[in-house]
Amino acid sequence: MAEECAICGCKLHRTPGAYGNATIEGRSGASRHHFVPERFFGRSVNRPGTKTEGIFTSYPCPWEYERKSDVFCHECHELLLHNPVIECPL
C-alpha cells in the first residue's frame, strides 16, 4: 500500500538519503510530524524533560490536535507545518 501525504495527498517516498533533495523523491519524502508543534505546548522531543514556556499553557489546544501526528511530504511539512498562521481572537 502506497503512503500518501496527509495534507496534499501526493505519493510519498522513503528513498534513503533523498529526503529534502531537489528531486521528486526528495520533495515527496515521507516523515511523521505533529499537526501542532510540541514547542507550542512547552515540550521538546529533542530535549526530553526540558520544559519551556509554550503558547498554549493556560488552556488546551484550540484545535484539539495536541499530540496528534500524521505522515507528510517534505514540502507540506516545511511550508505548512513550520509556518503556521494562528488566528487569535481579540
Band of pLDDT at residue 9, cut at 50, 70 and 90: very high
Which SS3 state, helix, strand or coil, does residue 33 take?
strand
13-17, 29-33, 34-38, 57-61: the lowest-pLDDT one: 57-61
What pLDDT, on the 0 to 100 scale, is given for residue 89?
A: 65
Cβ-in-10-Å burial (0-12, 13-18, 19+) of 4 comes to middle
pLDDT in tens, 40-74: 877 776 777 777 777 776 667 878 888 889 999 99
Rounded to an integer, what distance in angstroms lies between the CA atom of residue 21 and that of residue 28?
9
Note whether 71 and 31 are within 8 A (CB). Answer: yes
What pLDDT, on the 0 to 100 scale, is given for residue 86?
A: 65
Which pTM does this prediction carry? 0.68
Task: Please name which of 22, 19, 6, 1 lies closest in space to residue 65, comparing C-alpha atoms.
Answer: 6
Band of pLDDT at residue 80, cut at 50, 70 and 90: confident
Mean pLDDT estimate for the chain: 82
Q: Which of 3-7, 19-23, 34-38 has the highest mean pLDDT?
A: 3-7
Report the 10 Å Cβ neighbour count for 5.
19
